[in-house]
Structure 1
Amino acid sequence: MSGIAGELAGVRRAFAQPTLTLLHQRQAAVVITIFREAFGRNNVPIPTARLHAQVEEHLAEVRAAGETDLPTGSGREICQRWMRGQWLVRSLDEGGREVYTLTSHAQQALELVKNLARDRATLSEHRIATILGTVRRFNAEANPDRGARVGLLNAEIARLQAERDRLVDGAELVGATEDYMLEGFTELLSLVSALPSDFARVEERFATIRGEILAAFRAEDRPPGQVIDDYLARADALMTATQEGRAFEGAFALLRDDGLVTQLREDLTALLEHPLADRITSDAERAELRGTVRLVRDGLDRVLAQRSRVTATLKEYIVSRDAVRDRELEQTLRQVESELMTWMVGTGPRATHDVPLLPARTGIEHLRERFHDPADDVLPERIGHPDPEDAPPLSMADLVAQGGPRLAELRERLDASLASLAPAGSLGELFDTLEPPLRRPVEVFGLLHLAADRDWTSEEDSVEAFAAVRPDGSTRTFAVPRTPLPDPDRPDRPDRPDRPDRPQGETRA
């Protein structure tokens, strides 16, 4: 891109800013006049209904004065157009009322018109002295050479000492000329007038951050902790990395220093009491200079209030967030809210959209008939701590009798039966031959366990009785599928016990 083309692109971007779009329109003079008349120099918030009425009254007066090129529509419609042009912003004050305030772009346009309306000062001694003093002070504070900075301070100290000695010795006191005072007051008014737009710019930055935080919470595409960390980082960068933020921090530091505030008031009072001040400044300009401290305080209060709204938004979200809420319903409501905001941005104030009063009927196969009863969540009574001495005494024999099956002894008796000359025919027959301590009900399960471990099968269509004896001497008979014992004479039996061969001709009884 050539030099002239790049310059043209930069100028077009500048003309696209809301400040120049306000000044570039045909009705700019009328709009600027209404803004100056309604909001004044302090940009006092105005309730929405009152500003609508004021706009209609001001337009009627201007129309009666012969002006024909005026904004059309009611006061509400005109303010809506000014909001879309980013010259007005609507918000809630501390009392919960809707109010209008000027944006930083509108305040910058008002300040530009105000400076052009003043009598412009030409090249003067005061302006040259101001430039020289600013450059020298800047160099004394920023020069990286220690020796050079010390030399500048020594020269300044010597100059001030010489001026002091001259005045103490009774030398002639040179007074400021009228041109010098006029130039000084003009530059001072220009600096003070730029403060409201600077504060408004910081306030708008916080409002933008608040909208982005709300959008991030609605989208839920990032964890809440990450959104909060991002806000803290951006707020810190706003105060340290931008010109408006640094100006805000400087003003805040000024108001925290009572000595500096007192010195500022005394210096302004001394300047306004100068013999030439009444002749070269108007009543409005003197009132503007006297209200400098209040102007700074009001701007700081609005910025702090906007920052408090951002903090309150974070606090409200964190406190009201329920971890067990219905996620699907919450996401649906957030999507509806987001779509509604998008629809409102692209529509007019009187646009309508048909929405059914009730949702469509939903078919549900079953509804809950029993709901939560708080009485069901009552905790059981606390278990007491009995005295160990109250427990009945138990012997080792009693503990063994109440235990599980004695598999080792059962396995020995089972192997002995298989190795004998007259083995039992089934588990039930073997059980009947055992002594009472091995015929407890639990020993039935022990025998079945040993049979299953040796892959012995039961006869499902045949049942045999197990006459068990409890430790207290009572009896109980169990009907158990009959499990025959294998033939000990089969050579292929895997569990055949090692014993001598039977004599020839001996048969099994």
Structure 2
Amino acid sequence: MSEIAAELARVEDAFAQPTLTLLHQRQAPVVITLFRAAFGRNNTPIPTARLHTQVEEHLAAMRRTGRDEVPSGTGRDLCQRWMRGQWLVRSLDPAGNEVYTLTSHAQQALELVKNLTRDRATLSEHRIATILGTVRRFNAEANPDRTARVTILNDEIARLKAERDRLVDGAEMVGATEDYMSEGFTELLSLISALPSDFARVEERFAQIRGEILAAFRGEDRPAGEVIDEYLARADALMTATHEGRAFEGAFALLRDDALVGRLREDLGALLDHPLSDGILGEAERAELRGTVKLVRDGLDRVLTQRSRVTATLKEYIVSHDAARDRELEQTLRQVESELMTWMATTGPRATHDVPLLPSRAGVEHFRERFYDPADDVLPERIVPNVADAAPTVSLDALKAQGGPQLGPLRERLDEALAALLPAGTLGELFGSLEPALRRPVEILGLLHLAAGRGWEAERATERFSAVRPDGSRREFAVPRLPLPDPDLPGGPDQPGRSHPIHLESETRA
């Protein structure tokens, strides 16, 4: 292949990357604007439903301004289209909710557009000094010649010592010009804006490794033990086997140094407090520089979370794969082999038997929802009475005294009075002749009930019934006068007659 053909192939591969396909499409300005407005500089994960709504609202606002090159479709359709283009990725956050994040390709496109929107840096003293300083430091750390490395360090020490002595002696301090500060802030912002895409690239690499290992498990082309051994080997060298992993390990090692992080924060604060920074930096750029430490820490946290999720997912899959699948399959094959040997013992060498490819479904109308539990038949613990809370004992006579009328004894007394052939009296006189146990207030109702059952007629006049309560107190009731019938008169004592309603009036007496 000629040199020009090889170069063309490399350029075509670059244009096939999702970063350039995003920038090359006709609606690229609208899509880049939506990504910048929704995710910001930190690539903060956004819930799926919220991003759908934001995309629709932003597109509606663009259409109202008269823009023609606006994508058509709902927010959900557009997000799915961008996922197919490898510009969005949908995943689960630690709380289990679906969220969208930008891929490293989309973040590279946003970074390129952001750099183009800034004032382009020209050739300047700051840029040449930065290049010279970077090359010098790189050579001091990588030069294999011991003498050359010591010479470089001695020259740097002498230069720094001379500058320190000059400032201590009170020499004039050379201030930075506005062009120098502007060039420095531009390069610093360019370096910081590349961090989110770098972190996203490491996250995607972890996800890719997880997918490769899970695919090896599901494919079953190799024994499970071999796949597990490979996973353990890759897990041990996960952060050193890839370029992204090595870069992340280096950044993580540096940022674990609290003193280094504190120095970075102090240096950024001093640069932002510089008198010339107000005229060079806008509010958005100052906020971007001020949030550099938080940006780096958030990126590290997302990468570590993704790495922990990969390890947890693979561990769960390995455990479930071994216990729930391999063992059940082994038991099933053993049962099949046992049944086959039993069948071969009773059949000839040319016997055949049709076996369905899949077992038939069992027709079960209802499964029991509850099974026998021996704990249900255990007697409850015996209740131990509490002597302090025990109710006082009550005798049978006390219970009877609190009960209803004693119709049996009252009927006997009523029959005895009628059979004695005494001069006709009244029901009140009969009640007054009874013993105190039969003269409770409720016994009046008992006598009236017996009289009503025999059809006796009461008069409109009233008479006094003196009742005795079980506690010895007395109470009088005004009851309609009811004379006892004379057994010698026609009709006898049980002759029916019309009765008047009976109303009781009571008067309590001690």
Give the TM interval when normalised to the shorter protein: 0.5 to 0.7
Deviations 1:177-235 (A, max 9, x none): 11111111111111111010000001001111111222122122223343233334445
Residues 231-310 of structure 1: matches in 2 within 5 Å? 231-235=231-235, 239-310=239-310
> What is the SS of the residue equivalent to 1:240?
coil
> What is the SS of the residue equivalent to 1:101?
strand
1:236 deviates by 5.3
User: What is aligned with 2:79?
Assistant: 79
Deviations 1:226-248 (A, max 9, x none): 32333344455552354422321
User: What is aligned with 1:209?
Assistant: 209
Asked if structure 2 preserves the Cα contact closer than 8 Å seen for 1:18 and 1:87, the reply is yes
Deviations 1:99-122 (A, max 9, x none): 000000000000000001100110
**Distance change in 2, residues 1:214/1:363 (3 Å):** closer
Deviations 1:78-103 (A, max 9, x none): 10010000000000000100000000
Asked if structure 2 preserves the Cα contact closer than 8 Å seen for 1:27 and 1:70, the reply is yes
Asked if structure 2 preserves the Cα contact closer than 8 Å seen for 1:209 and 1:231, the reply is no
User: What is aligned with 2:313?
Assistant: 313
Counterpart CA distance in 2 for 1:30 and 1:91 is 24
**Distance change in 2, residues 1:69/1:163 (3 Å):** same
**Distance change in 2, residues 1:232/1:360 (3 Å):** closer
Counterpart CA distance in 1 for 2:332 and 2:111 is 50
Residues 117-266 of structure 1: matches in 2 within 5 Å? 117-235=117-235, 239-266=239-266
Asked if structure 2 preserves the Cα contact closer than 8 Å seen for 1:255 and 1:261, the reply is yes
Deviations 1:422-468 (A, max 9, x none): xxxxxxxxxxxxxxxxxxxxxxxxxxxxxxxxxxxxxxxxxxxxxxx
**Distance change in 2, residues 1:179/1:20 (3 Å):** same
**Distance change in 2, residues 1:242/1:209 (3 Å):** closer
Asked if structure 1 preserves the Cα contact closer than 8 Å seen for 2:206 and 2:306, the reply is yes
**Distance change in 2, residues 1:328/1:276 (3 Å):** farther
Residues 406-485 of structure 1: matches in 2 within 5 Å? none
Asked if structure 1 preserves the Cα contact closer than 8 Å seen for 2:210 and 2:314, the reply is no
After superposing the two structures, state which structure 1 stretch, 265-274 or 225-234, moved more.
225-234
1:37 deviates by 0.2
**Distance change in 2, residues 1:160/1:35 (3 Å):** same
Letter matched to residue 362 of structure 1: S
User: What is aligned with 1:96?
Assistant: 96
Asked if structure 1 preserves the Cα contact closer than 8 Å seen for 2:182 and 2:280, the reply is yes
Asked if structure 2 preserves the Cα contact closer than 8 Å seen for 1:206 and 1:310, the reply is yes
Counterpart CA distance in 2 for 1:152 and 1:314 is 49
Does the alignment pair 1:362 with 2:360?
A: yes
> What is the TM-score of this pair, normalised by structure 2?
0.63
Counterpart CA distance in 1 for 2:183 and 2:237 is 36
Q: Indicate which of 289, 306, 327 corresponds to 1:324.
A: 327
Letter matched to residue 300 of structure 1: L
User: What is aligned with 2:420?
Assistant: none
Counterpart CA distance in 1 for 2:116 and 2:171 is 41
User: What is aligned with 2:46?
Assistant: 46
**Distance change in 2, residues 1:226/1:326 (3 Å):** closer
**Distance change in 2, residues 1:238/1:181 (3 Å):** farther
Deviations 1:37-96 (A, max 9, x none): 000000000011111111111110111111111111111111001000000000000010
**Distance change in 2, residues 1:224/1:260 (3 Å):** farther
Letter matched to residue 103 of structure 1: T
**Distance change in 2, residues 1:74/1:262 (3 Å):** same
1:284 deviates by 0.8
User: What is aligned with 1:5?
Assistant: 5
Counterpart CA distance in 1 for 2:331 and 2:212 is 23
Counterpart CA distance in 1 for 2:332 and 2:313 is 22
> What is the SS of the residue equivalent to 2:240?
helix
**Distance change in 2, residues 1:92/1:31 (3 Å):** same
Does the alignment pair 1:115 with 2:115?
A: yes
Counterpart CA distance in 2 for 1:206 and 1:288 is 27
**Distance change in 2, residues 1:237/1:25 (3 Å):** farther
Letter matched to residue 102 of structure 1: L
Counterpart CA distance in 1 for 2:190 and 2:232 is 34
Asked if structure 1 preserves the Cα contact closer than 8 Å seen for 2:205 and 2:244, the reply is no
Deviations 1:338-377 (A, max 9, x none): xxxxxxxxxxxxxxxxxxxxx998289xxxxxxxxxxxxx
Counterpart CA distance in 2 for 1:295 and 1:363 is 57
User: What is aligned with 2:354?
Assistant: none
Counterpart CA distance in 1 for 2:286 and 2:235 is 36
Letter matched to residue 295 of structure 1: L
Counterpart CA distance in 2 for 1:188 and 1:363 is 68
> What is the SS of the residue equivalent to 2:36?
helix
User: What is aligned with 2:383?
Assistant: none
> What is the SS of the residue equivalent to 1:326?
helix
Deviations 1:241-287 (A, max 9, x none): 54422321122112211110111111111111111111101111111
Letter matched to residue 289 of structure 1: L
Counterpart CA distance in 2 for 1:73 and 1:170 is 69
Counterpart CA distance in 1 for 2:243 and 2:233 is 17
**Distance change in 2, residues 1:328/1:313 (3 Å):** farther
Counterpart CA distance in 2 for 1:159 and 1:168 is 14
RMSD between superposed Cα atoms in Å: 2.3
> What is the SS of the residue equivalent to 2:100?
strand
Counterpart CA distance in 1 for 2:332 and 2:29 is 51
Unpaired runs of 5+ residues, structure 2, are: 334-356, 363-510
Counterpart CA distance in 2 for 1:74 and 1:266 is 46
> What is the TM-score of this pair, normalised by structure 1?
0.64
Counterpart CA distance in 1 for 2:277 and 2:73 is 45
Deviations 1:392-423 (A, max 9, x none): xxxxxxxxxxxxxxxxxxxxxxxxxxxxxxxx
Counterpart CA distance in 1 for 2:202 and 2:104 is 9
User: What is aligned with 1:398?
Assistant: none
Asked if structure 2 preserves the Cα contact closer than 8 Å seen for 1:251 and 1:296, the reply is no
Q: Number of paired residues?
A: 338
